[in-house]
């Protein structure tokens, strides 16, 4: 019984092995990450991704280099709207819907708030990016 408890205590003292995700090629900023771009290596490091599925489909925020672990701040959801894109501005209130043409003054993913310019009035507004690429302004 004592040997068993000593064995269990020894196992509890050992750190659990985890995996880290690294790129197998240089991935430039704003580039989408695909499954073929990643390698899973043994190791343990706080603040890095441990499984390729957590990173696939995201966009590199900074340049990612082969062999270096991918940290949590290195990837972001893919951008739906780029700077200077022509977008539709949508205002919805109490059943009234107003649409206008606009130009994106920033870049962002679904749910991000960016500045946009109404092309008719040249007014700068802030709006939230919708899944279809339209900008909801209030």
| pLDDT of amino acid 7 | 46
Domains in the chain, start-ordered, CATH in brackets? Answer: 16-76 (3.90.1210.10), 86-137 (2.30.30.760)
| pLDDT of amino acid 138 | 85
| Structure-derived torsion over alpha carbons of residues 36, 37, 42, 44, reported in degrees to the nearest 10 | -140
| pLDDT of amino acid 18 | 74
- Tell me the C-alpha to C-alpha distance, in Å, between residue 123 and each of 91, 96, 105, 133: 14, 21, 12, 20
What whole-number distance in Å separates Cα of residue 88 and Cα of residue 120?
Answer: 12
| pLDDT of amino acid 11 | 46
pLDDT digits (tens, 9 = 90+) for 77-116: 999 999 999 999 999 999 999 999 999 999 999 999 999 9
Regions of the chain with pLDDT less than 50: 4-14
């Amino acid at each position: 019984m004592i040997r068993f408890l000593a064995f269990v205590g020894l196992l509890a003292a050992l750190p659990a092995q985890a995996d880290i995700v690294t790129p197998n090629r240089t991935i430039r900023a704003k580039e989408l990450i695909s499954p073929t771009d990643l390698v899973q290596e043994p190791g343990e490091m706080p603040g890095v991704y441990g499984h390729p599925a957590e990173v696939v489909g995201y966009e590199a925020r900074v340049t990612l280099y082969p062999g270096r672990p991918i940290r949590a701040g290195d990837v972001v959801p893919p951008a739906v709207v780029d700077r200077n894109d022509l977008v539709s501005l949508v205002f919805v209130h109490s059943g009234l819907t107003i649409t206008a043409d606009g130009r994106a003054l920033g870049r962002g993913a679904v749910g991000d708030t960016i500045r946009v310019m109404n092309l008719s009035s040249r007014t700068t507004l802030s709006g939230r990016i919708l899944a279809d690429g339209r900008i909801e302004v209030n």
